[in-house]
Amino acid sequence: MAVSGAQERISCIVHSWAGVSLHPHRFGGTEYRIGTRELGHIHGDHMLDIPFPTRVRNELVAAGAAQPHHLLHESGWVSFYLREERDVDEAIALLRRSFDLAQKKWTPS
């Protein structure tokens, strides 16, 4: 399952945040960055992968807000699947959390 148009909608919103740039992701899809730091990437209209500090990743997984990364199970990465319309807003909220964490460490050049 996928949410039609999810990638375009998510990318439009995330790209509007200060300092965020969009890039092709090496495994397909779109990668979101602030400076050189990846905020996450989306694979079409069906899956989002986001890096977090392990503590945050564990909180999100325990709360059911995301799943361990589909390949890197023991890393700080999470995967979030877009199955319903409401998942688009939840995906944006997860990316915003990644953005907020990254902003604390990023200064524009």
Q: Domain range spanning residue 45?
A: 6-105
User: Using CA atoms, how far apart are residues 11 and 13, in angstroms rounded to an integer?
Assistant: 6
Predicted local confidence at residue 109, as pLDDT: 46
Q: In the Cβ-directed half-sphere of 66, how many Cα atoms lie within 13 Å?
A: 30
pLDDT one-digit tens code per residue, 35-86: 899 999 999 999 999 999 999 999 999 999 998 987 776 788 999 999 999 9
**CATH number, domain at 58?**
3.90.1150.30
For tokens 């999100």, what's the residue?
60
Q: Does the residue 1 lie in any domain?
A: no
pLDDT one-digit tens code per residue, 29-43: 899 999 899 999 999
pLDDT one-digit tens code per residue, 85-96: 999 999 999 999
Tally of structural domains, the chain: 1
pTM of the model: 0.90
